[in-house]
Amino acid sequence: MKTTLKMVVTLLLAAAPAWATLGEYESSVSVDQQYLKGEVREQSQPGFRVHQITAANGITVREYVSPKGLVFGVAWSGHFAPNMQQLLGSYFPDLEQAERTATKQRGAPFIVRTDRLVFVSAGHMRSFHGHAYVPSLVPSNLSPEVVR
Amino acid sequence: MSFKNNWKAALGAGLVALAAAITLASCGGGSSSSTTTTTTTTPVNNTAAAEVNAGPAGNSLNMLFVTVTVCMPGSTTNCQTINNVQVDTGSEGLRVLSSALGSLDPSKGNGSGLPTVNDSSGDVLQECVQFADTTYVWGPVATADVSIAGEKASSLPIHVISANPLYPVPSSCLSLGNGGDINTLQTLEANGIIGLGVFPNDCGGACTASSASAPDQYFFCPGGVCSLPTSGVPLNDQVTQPVVGFASDNNGIMITMPGISASGQASASGSVIFGIGTQSNNGLGSASVYSVDDTGSFTATYNGVQYPSSAFLDTGSTAFYFLDHTTLGIPDCSDYSGLYCPASTQNYTITNTALDGTTTTGQVTISIANTDSLLGPAAGPYTGFTALNDLGGDGGSSPSTDMVDYGMPFFYNRSVFVGIMGQSAPSNATNTYGYFAF
């Protein structure tokens, strides 16, 4: 039985989306850390906390946590983009929906602006950056611009 | 495997240069020689005609096209001449639709195609490239002799974009979600993309790392199951910028475009000239040199706000993707998502600052006009203009994400240089990561 449980846990971890972070509690950051195989540095700012994960492949991900312990935003930069299914979690379908319907201009950033999710992917080959946040989870005394 | 022929060609050119240097030294007499690095090469035709027009899909905007010849390595007769290949200074390496390769298409599997890059078990190296706009291309890596103008890169690794890939694209590659596979003439709006950016390869050191830390870009798919190469992909096997494979004129490019009407034109003809300071037609002159950092970017400042490492020059971008409509205080168009529709043409003066320890600073002024006026409303009728020097759009959604993407509009009425990382550079540039100059 123990073995079975362990297997279930492993499978769940492998199926990363269920454990992803935007809109989840702070504890999910450690799962991102495992997924990105990176080192975490924590920093406290007035009104929020930032966990910065630097992955072995050089991608930097910053996760912004509200005083309530919820991840309200994520930002990334590096030579490659991190896995959004992992980072956006239950908000990933919002991105997918936007991708299906958007007209894309060559070289333009990809921008989603809805009540549920703001998402920006920008850059060029060997240089990607962007951010995503949930407007309703951003503490009312903060500007979403902190997510950078 | 790769570059064997190149070595020979480079050696040949080197001998010519050396002979020239010796001749010069013996004539000049006395002066101690530090001249052996100056490039005196057999002049080849280094100028490729390039044109902005509606393209093969018939509806393209600000896409710059050239013709490229792809040959079986070592052959000068088993070749395909491929027109309508988009020039992209925002990426690296040649990517060609499998449909444009004809009998050289390696994915036909009948042995007539280009040789693929394989591992020791015979598995073919596959590559997935996702662009920041979330679209992607996927297919095998093959080697070819690639010619453009009089220049030739032998046994160059190129990316074949498969319309009917042997394996489904690995979902791990689609980090940004699935914004669509641009693997047809209609979706790519070209027969291929020739990436002539600042880097020599399309991945670099990150993909030489083992599967434990490499990004999800190169794959082997034994038995149809794709995974990262266990011990990484050597630089020589990665899709490589054609210019670094040339025997000479291999340190960068110069793009020259004519001035065009501010209201747009149906087409515009210019040149892509290979090499920087290597022939009489490609000197830097008085151009300002902006060395870039390891992301291929330099710094821009607008209205007192600095946007660090956010600026680059990209012929592959349709418009000036410059800051965002809220920051600029102009509206997006109601009918063209993400493009600007100011009531009247706006001029913006931007200060550019080099990175990588150099100090060049300078200003440029760009104009952004009303997209509806330039193109006609999205519902038609259209103006039919495809060459536009004042098309602009959002480069982000707020200052924290904003880019200063000097897209194709920037290139008209200018000569722009793209210096390649690690190649010989003029004295006022650094080549640690390459540079842009204009």
Q: What is the band of B424 on the pLDDT scale with cuts at 50, 70, 90?
A: very high
Q: What is the band of A2 on the pLDDT scale with cuts at 50, 70, 90?
A: very low
What's the total number of domains in chain A?
Answer: 1
* pLDDT tens per residue, range B273-321: 999 999 999 999 999 999 999 999 999 999 999 999 999 999 999 999 9
Angle at CA of residue B91, ends B365 and B169, nearest 5°? 140
Q: Is A121 on the interface with B (CB under 8 A)?
A: yes
Architecture of domain B44-245: Beta Barrel (2.40)
Lowest-confidence pick of A3-12, A87-96, B70-79, B117-126? A3-12
d(CA B26, CA B29): 5
Q: Label each residue of chain B as H, E or C.
A: CCCHHHHHHHHHHHHHHHHHHHHHHHHHCCCCCCCCCCCCCCCCCCEEEEEECCCCCCCCCCCEEEEEEEECCCCCCCEEEEEEEEEECCCEEEEEEHHHCHHHCHHHCCCCCCCECECCCCCECEEEEECCCCCEEEEEEEEEEEEECCEEEEEEEEEEECCCCCCCCCHHHCCCCCCCECCCHHHHCCCEEEEECCCCECCCHHHHCCCCCCCCCEEECHHHCCECCCCCCCHHHCCECHHHHECCCCCEEEEEECCCCCCCECCEEEEEEECCCCCCCCCCCCCCEEECCCCCCEEEEECCEEEEEEEEECCCCCCEEECCHHHHCCCECCCCCCEECCCCCEEEEEEEECCCCCCCEEEEEEEECCHHHHHCCCCCCCCCCCECCCCEECCCCCCCCCCEEECHHHHCCEEEEEECCCCCCCCCCCCCCCEEEC
Mean pLDDT of B417-423: 97
pLDDT surpassing 50 at residue B213? yes
* pLDDT tens per residue, range B103-125: 999 977 677 899 999 999 999 99
Mean pLDDT of B354-358: 87
Q: Is B217 on the interface with A (CB under 8 A)?
A: yes
* A 14-73 near B (Cβ less than 8 A): 37, 55-59
* B 123-152 near A (Cβ less than 8 A): 129-135
Question: What are the chain A neighbours of B312 within 8 Å (beta carbons)?
Answer: 124, 127
Contact (CB<8Å) B206/A110: no
* pLDDT tens per residue, range B368-405: 999 999 999 999 999 999 999 999 999 999 999 999 99
d(CA B268, CA B28): 46
Domain map (residue ranges) of chain B: 44-245, 283-437
User: What is this model's ipTM?
Assistant: 0.87
Question: What are the chain B neighbours of A147 within 8 Å (beta carbons)?
Answer: 400
Range of the domain at A106: 2-146
Q: What is the band of B42 on the pLDDT scale with cuts at 50, 70, 90?
A: low
Question: What are the chain B neighbours of A144 within 8 Å (beta carbons)?
Answer: 398
Predicted pLDDT of residue B37: 54
Give how far B42 is from chain A: nearest CA, Å. Answer: 33
* pLDDT tens per residue, range A26-81: 877 777 777 777 777 888 888 999 999 988 788 999 999 999 999 999 999 999 99
Among chain A residues, the shortest Cα distance to B197 is held by: A125
Contact (CB<8Å) B133/A110: yes
d(CA B338, CA B366): 18
Higher-confidence position of B308 and B10: B308
Predicted pLDDT of residue B376: 97
Give how far A104 is from chain B: nearest CA, Å. Answer: 7
- The H helix count followed by the E strand count for chain B is 5, 21
Q: Is B395 on the interface with A (CB under 8 A)?
A: yes
Chains A, B: CB pairs < 8 Å? 164
Question: What are the chain B neighbours of A126 within 8 Å (beta carbons)?
Answer: 92, 199, 202-204, 295-296
